[in-house]
Structures are given as structure tokens and as C-alpha cells.
A = this chain, B = another copy of it.
Amino acid sequence: MKNKQVILVKKPEGLINESHFSIVSTDIPTPKEGEVLVKNRYVSIDPYLRLLTEEPTTFSRGVKPGSRMESWSVGEVVESKSPVFQSGQYVLGYLGWQEYGLSNERELRPIDPSIASLPAFLGVLGMPGITAYLGMFDYGKPQAGQTVLISAAAGTVGMTAGQFAKMHSCKVVGITDSEEKCRFLLEELNFDSAINEKRENLEEKLKQYVPEGIDLYYDNVGGETLDTALLFLRKNSRVVICGMISQYNVKTPYAIKNFERLHSARATLKGFIVGDRTDRWPEAIRRLEVWVKEKKLKHRENVFHGLENAPKALHSIFTNAPIGKTVVEV
């Protein structure tokens, strides 16, 4: 038996696509004492993966051309040299784009598939859900009656963050890029307004929907959207920089014209990376699982089939992202 893997073959310039990857076949590794062999069922497709293909940063070790692509995954234990895990058990790990992954027992999280379908553990119950949780509760601190603006609002982080703001009785406005996503935000998630940035003028719509200004901008995209949002900051508002998906595939970053608003609004801006705060993950996971079980937190997943389609799936989230979490069934 062999292990199918997806390898980065060259460092992308601009938009990442299938030409930057290839499929290889390697030996299936054998676990040593304390290790666990996992057969991946789903691998995760996330915007930050684009950053891994650049030079190593404080975000990541980076994935060099010739190396297997990294990512979160959920799978089944097929061989365990750990007393903590048994064959057949479902786990979440950072095992990458491959069929079989080896992990130290300390780096796997057992998951309970009665809570939600397996792909949800890569979305609302995984890193993106935890990101929204920490971004809102540790940094954004939405308060009843406040106005919250969220970009990439139909992505997993955005839709989860928006639901947290609704739970706190905020007025919530989502920025997204299709009519279907706007309908989803309004009808399924009860957002107060939704803006299709591709068709509508963001500044005009914000003037209409949030004449009072915004108390919190939860940003997942950066660039021009962020620049426009800054114009609407109220006094003592907060800006949470969670991600900057609009900038991951560009060579020359968008230059921010309205930076001064951070001063005149006496804003507090916080950039954060969820991986820095693993101390906060257990609480976040506990509460996310309860809310999902009780149907207080909606989520959605989109499944690409076949590991060989992982590069196509990654390309799609930068070009024609579906609602919610994108995963690949291995």
C-alpha cells in the first residue's frame, strides 16, 4: 500500500492554482512508541495556506517546493502506538494533504462525530471557529447595541464571528461577494444588512446601513475593503485584523489611505493569529461544540471529492469561494 500526497512543486507568483502542485506516491510510515497513524478522511482548505507557500515567516515554517502541503485534517486512527488512541477512533490533526499521516499522540485531538459531521471539525469546530471565537471574545468584545461590520462574512470565520455578535445583541452588517451569500447572511443568519461588494459601492451602502458608524470592524480581507471600513469607525471603536485574504495573492500590497482614522477615532486595532493562543483553544472548543449541538451556531461545509482536487479547491477559495468551509474528501 502506498500513500498519496500533494506536493508543492513551485513557489507561486500571484494566484495559486493546480500548476503549483503535483501528486506523488510514497511509503506509508509506521508509528513508533507514542505515535499514531491516521487515515485522513477530509483535509482542510484555508486562505492561510497560500502564505505557507511564501518564505517562512513568524506565521509558519513555510512549505518549500518539493515538500508536502501542510493543513489540518480529520481522519481515522488505523494504527496506534499510543495508549490514548485506538484504531477506528476519529481524530483532528495537522497532517497535511495526504492519505495517511503520522502524528505524535500529543498533537491529535479526539473528536466526537455525534456532535457534527466530520468536515465541521475543520470549520466551525476547528481552527476557523476557534479563530472567530478568540477574535470576537478576546479582542473584538462586542457589546449589546453596538454596530459590528464583518468582511468575508459568508466564510466560516466571518459567519461564526457574525453569529457571536448577534448573540450579543449587536447590529451586524456583513460584506460579501454574491447575491446568494447576501441572502444567506440575511435569511439564515439574521444579519441586519449584507453588502455584495462586487456589485454594490461599499462606501455608499455603509452610509445607508450604518449612518451611526461602526463600533467593531472584524476584518478578514484587508486592502480596499478595510480602507473603506476605516472611514466609518466611531469614537473608541475596535478593529480586529484576523486575515487579509485580498492581499495573499498580490505582489504589491494595497496602500491604506485612511490610516489617520485610527487616530481620530481613538481606535484600538489588534492583529492576531489563532495559533499563538493555544492556551485558549480548550475553552473555545468546549463552547463551540455546545453551541453547534444546541443549533445556536449555524455552519456550512462544501466538499470537493478526491485528494487530487485539493489544489483546485484552494484556487477556488480565492476566486469563487462558496459559503462556509471548503474541505476535500480524501
Distance of A238 from chain B, by nearest CB (Å): 10
Give per-residue flags for A63-94: 1 if the beta carbon is below 8 A from chain B beta carbons, else 0.
00000000000000000000000000000000
B262 touches A266 (CB 8 A): no
A306 to B153, CA, bound (A): 59
A247 to B257, CA, bound (A): 11
Q: Does A34 contact B (CB under 8 A)?
A: no
Known contacts: A58-B235, A235-B58. The answer to whether A259 contacts B266 by CB under 8 A is no
B266 touches A273 (CB 8 A): yes
Q: Does A1 contact B (CB under 8 A)?
A: no
Contacts of A267 in B (CB 8 A): 269-271
A268 touches B270 (CB 8 A): yes
Residue A271 contacts which of B57, B58, B264 (CB distance < 8 angstroms)? B264
Contacts of A235 in B (CB 8 A): 58
Which of A17-72 touch B at CB < 8 Å? 57-59
Q: Does A222 contact B (CB under 8 A)?
A: yes
Contacts of A241 in B (CB 8 A): 262-263
Known contacts: A268-B270, A269-B268. The answer to whether A243 contacts B259 by CB under 8 A is no
Q: Does A318 contact B (CB under 8 A)?
A: no
B260 touches A257 (CB 8 A): no
Q: Give how many copies assemble into the complex.
A: 2
B268 touches A268 (CB 8 A): yes
Q: Does A111 contact B (CB under 8 A)?
A: no
Contacts of A169 in B (CB 8 A): none
A59 touches B222 (CB 8 A): no
Known contacts: A58-B235, A270-B268. The answer to whether A260 contacts B247 by CB under 8 A is yes
B266 touches A272 (CB 8 A): yes
Contacts of A260 in B (CB 8 A): 222, 244, 247, 253
- Listed by A's residue number, 26 A-B pairs whose Cβ atoms lie within 8 Å are A57-B264, A58-B235, A58-B264, A58-B265, A59-B264, A222-B259, A222-B260, A226-B259, A236-B276, A241-B262, A243-B263, A253-B260, A255-B255, A255-B256, A256-B256, A259-B259, A262-B269, A262-B271, A263-B273, A264-B271, A265-B271, A266-B271, A266-B276, A267-B270, A267-B271, A268-B269
Residues of A within 8 A of B (CB): 57-59, 222, 226, 235-236, 241, 243-244, 247, 253, 255-260, 262-273, 276
